[in-house]
Amino acid sequence: MQASLMIYQKEGGFSEVTGVEYQGRQVPCRLIIFDKDGTLIDFTATWVPLIRKRVSFLLKKVGENGELEAFLLRSWGIDPISGKVDPRGPCPVSPRSDEIIIGTMALYQYGFPWDESKQWVAQAFDEADADGNWREKVVPIQGVQTFLSKLKRNGFYTALATNDERKDTEAILSHLSMDNLFDIVLCAGEVTPAKPNPETIFTICRELSVDPHEAVMVGDSVADMMMGKGAGVALTIGILEGGVTPKEELEKVADIVVHSIRELKFSKLP
């Protein structure tokens, strides 16, 4: 199913954004809210190699153990053999602070002291993340910069709502030349409760003086769609390319599901 983002032309050449065309009807919207991981960048290609590196650094601290490696990966929702990510597991939706607690619990269940485990996991995360510039290996969705630039040129507000840390988010956006393509960016810990609670969308809308009913939520996870539904946005759009959630799962909660943001076409009335 396709959706067209409609741009209506006023006399004098001034563009007035009115919204999305969906199932033959025009859905008014002024604001497009995006998730980051799995929506604008490829989740598996970007994050699974980094998580494996974090596990490797952690194992060096506690001793090499193949069984523990597999247990840690499964705790974060990654199949240790195939590398497949559980779409409803912690990896796609949890902020870094939660991931550290999950790793700490895994070590504790393996018999290591809690306080030392938490320190080891946090250090392993920091050391792995500092080992080369992993942000340069981030894999963007093809055409995402062009898509966002076109939204901005045509007068849409754009926002980013992510559970990633601000430092990493800003570094990724800068590396991908996308740091000037959002009117507002909200990251992990900056709004409570976190998604899927709709407060993140409410905060974005308050900052931009846009009613939630004039916003569209674009994401790759069930949590993204639940957040949009809870906020009462005009439309929730599930994206498959770059994410890990199966189509049939997204279709249960999203208004529409498309393979890629490239299927969202811009149009102007004659």
Question: What's the CATH code of the domain at 175?
Answer: 3.40.50.1000
Query: Domain boundary at 135, 161, 187, which?
Result: 135
Question: Could you read off the pLDDT of 70-129 as tens digits, one per residue?
Answer: 999 999 999 999 989 998 899 888 888 999 999 999 999 999 999 999 999 999 999 988
- pTM, two decimal places: 0.85
Q: Are residues 102 and 177 in the same domain?
A: no
Parallel/antiparallel/unpaired status of strands 264-268 and 31-34: unpaired
Mean pLDDT for 218-238 is 95
Instruction: Answer whether 83's CB lies under 8 Å from 77's CB.
Output: no
Instruction: Answer whether 196's CB lies under 8 Å from 231's CB.
Output: no
Into how many domains does the chain fold? 2
Q: Are residues 52 and 104 in the same domain?
A: yes
Q: Are residues 189 and 119 in the same domain?
A: no
How many CB atoms sit inside 10 A of residue 230's CB? 18
Q: Are residues 30 and 51 in the same domain?
A: no
**Cα angle, residue 258 at apex, residues 5 and 220 outer, rounded to 5°:** 105
Query: Domain boundary at 135, 158, 191, which?
Result: 135
| Mean per-residue pLDDT over the chain, rounded | 86
Q: Are residues 58 and 85 in the same domain?
A: yes
| Least confident span in 27-31, 49-53, 223-227 | 27-31
Question: Could you read off the pLDDT of 37-55 as tens digits, one per residue?
Answer: 999 999 888 889 989 999 9
Query: Domain boundary at 118, 135, 152, which?
Result: 135
Query: How many angstroms separate the CA atoms of 32 and 89, rounded?
Result: 26
**Residue 224 in this model has a pLDDT that exceeds 90:** yes
**Residue 236 in this model has a pLDDT that exceeds 90:** yes
Q: Are residues 143 and 243 in the same domain?
A: yes
Q: Are residues 33 and 117 in the same domain?
A: no
Q: Which amino acid is at 43?
A: F
**In which domain, by residue range, is 32 found?**
3-42+139-268
Q: Are residues 34 and 166 in the same domain?
A: yes
At 47 the pLDDT is 87
Between 121 and 268, residue with greater pLDDT:
121
At 267 the pLDDT is 44
